[in-house]
Structure 1
């Protein structure tokens, strides 16, 4: 994903004891430096498995949507 300097959002999650053990086992088997790094990698892998592409550098979120650019709704459509 991005470098540490690009990380501007903090995400706090709660895990069960079993989830934390599974995370730590996965992390240690891959010699990952931290739980945070393991969570970021699992998030990246999970999103990629679902076919989610990460925005390229310089692209805005408005470039990604459900309809093609230039498609407008007709009156009365929601």
Structure 2
């Protein structure tokens, strides 16, 4: 039996991540959730992670599975496989 989203679509996320938050962090998360009309705390955490990774230069393809990308790229050993050299050398 596969999990379904609230709209009846198959849920492709299979990994569970448990985190502990302080009361202030939880309040900030809930403020973000409600101000952005997010459906759940989990959706808010995923969105904040996505935004944080993008701001650090990691590209995330919508609908990509966790196995499709990583912190260390397979080709170069740099974040997301990016070449750090500016001049192409």
Q: What TM-score does the superposition give when structure 1 sets the normalisation length?
A: 0.67
Structure 1 pair 23–45 and aligned structure 2 pair: CA distance change class (3 A): same
More contact order relative to length (CA 8 Å, sep ≥ 6)? 1
- Structure 1 stretches of 5 or more lacking a match? 69-78
| Structure 1 partner of 2:42 | 36
Alignment CA distance shift 1:60-1:38 (3 Å): closer
Equivalent residue, structure 2, for 1:66? 77
Q: Could you list the per-position Cα deviations for residues 21-72 of structure 1 after superposition, in whole angstroms to 9, with x for gaps in the alignment? A: 000001100111000000000000000000012366795767454178xxxx
4+ residue segments displaced more than 3 Å: 55-65
Aligned to 1:74: none
Unaligned runs of 5+ in 2: 1-8, 82-89
Compared with structure 1, are the counterparts of its residues 32 and 59 closer, same or farther at alpha carbon in structure 2 (3 Å cutoff)? closer
- RMSD after superposition: 3.0
Larger radius of gyration: 1
Q: What TM-score do the two structures reach when normalised by structure 2?
A: 0.60
